[in-house]
Amino acid sequence: MAGEFIGHGTLALQGKQAWIGWMEKLFGATPEIAAQVVFFIGLLDVFVALVVLFRPIKIVLLWAVFWGFATALVRPIVGESFWDFIERFANWGAPLALLLLLGWPKTVKEWLK
């Protein structure tokens, strides 16, 4: 899971043009704003990867589940095949599996551990 988020984060930090284009298309952002948002997302992805790699925190894993699902779902929304979404099941399935292995939190305090 950490490798996936480091990989995607690095591509975002490098300004992957397809992702910048998706931001423009989905949100009507200018190319400059879209590039800045993609860069910020890259920083966040690398941060998530490092947290999960060195000390998994459940709320960060929950974010990874949400973010992995949302970014996989973007593919068919922008016109790519639905199979591109299916192919990316591990983007959100892996953090969900780790979260379940660590134990689903029962209190707010447990989400921060």
Q: DSSP for 11-28?
A: HHHTT-HHHHHHHHHHH-
One-letter amino acid for residue 61 of the chain: L
Provide mean pLDDT across the span 63-92.
Answer: 95
Domain count of the chain?
A: 1
Mean pLDDT, residues 92-96 = 96
Per-residue pLDDT, 4: 93
Q: What is the pTM of this model?
A: 0.90
| CA 44 to each of CA 6, 50, 102, 106, 110: distance values in angstroms, whole numbers, following the listed order | 10, 10, 22, 26, 22
